[in-house]
Amino acid sequence: MNPKAESKNQGAPGVLDVSENTSYAVSRTVMELNMFLLLVVVVSLTIPSWAAERHRLQLLVPEDKLAEARAITSPLPNSPETVAQGKAIYDGKGACFRCHGKDGDGNGPLAARLNPSPRNFQDHGFWSQRTEGEIFWVIKNGSPGTGLVGYGDQLTDGEIWTLIQYIRSFAREHGPA
C-alpha cells in the first residue's frame, strides 16, 4: 500500500504523532517516578541493617579533652602476659566480644542492632588515627548516644590498658603491625 495514502487516512499526521509522543512521554515519566518511589521505599527499608561504623577520622574524645587524653600513656609493658590478661577481660567480665566480636571484627552478636556499628579492631587505618591515650579515654568514658558505655566504674585503669594491648593485637594478626 502507498504509505502516503495510509497516513492521509489517519488524518493530519503531524497532530497524531504529537499526541502519541506525548502519551508515551507521560507514561514514561510515570514509570520513572514509580521506579524512583520504589527505590526510596527499598532504600529506607534497608537502612536499619545498613548501619556503619563512624568514620575513623571522627574522633570520639571531645575537643576540650583531646590534649589531656593524648597525653595519657600506658604504664604497662608490651608483653604476651598483658595481652593474655586483656583477652580474659574482653571475653569475660568486660564482655567486649558481645559487640566487637571474638575476632575483633566489629561483628559480635549484638552488633547488628547498633548504629553506629561497633569498631572493627582489625582495621589498621583505625589504629593509625588514634593515640593509645585517646583509646583509653574513650573506653573509660564511653561514646555518648552509642552502644559504647564508659567502663570507668567497672574496670580499673590497669584492666583497660591490658584490654588495649589485646584489641590492638587483632590488627597485627590481620596484616602489618
Residues that bind ligand HEC (CB under 6 A): 54, 60, 94-96, 98-100, 110, 114, 116, 118-119, 130, 134-135, 138-139, 143, 146-148, 151, 163, 167
Task: Tell me the closest approach of the beta carbon of residue 81 to ligand HEC, in angstroms.
Answer: 18
| Residue 51: all three cell numbers together | 548501619
Rounded Cα gap, residues 15 and 21, in angstroms: 10
In the complex with ligand HEC, which residue's Cβ is closer, 83 or 163? Answer: 163
In the complex with ligand HEC, which residue's Cβ is closer, 13 or 125? Answer: 125
> If you ran DSSP here, which 8-state letter would residue 93 be given?
T
Task: Tell me the closest approach of the beta carbon of residue 44 to ligand HEC, in angstroms.
Answer: 22
Task: Tell me the closest approach of the beta carbon of residue 28 to ligand HEC, in angstroms.
Answer: 44
| Residue 77: all three cell numbers together | 609493658
Q: Cell 596484616: give the residue.
A: 175
Burial, 24: exposed, middle or buried (Cβ in 10 Å; 0-12, 13-18, 19+)? exposed
Rounding to the nearest 10 degrees, give the CA dihedral for residues 24, 27, 29, 32.
-120
Task: Tell me the closest approach of the beta carbon of residue 21 to ligand HEC, in angstroms.
Answer: 53
> How many other C-beta atoms are found inside a 10 Å radius of the C-beta of residue 121?
24
Rounded Cα gap, residues 165 and 167, in angstroms: 6
Angle (CA) 170 58 78, round 5°: 30
In the complex with ligand HEC, which residue's Cβ is closer, 57 or 177? Answer: 57
In the complex with ligand HEC, which residue's Cβ is closer, 9 or 58? Answer: 58
Task: Tell me the closest approach of the beta carbon of residue 171 to ligand HEC, in angstroms.
Answer: 12
In the complex with ligand HEC, which residue's Cβ is closer, 7 or 51? Answer: 51
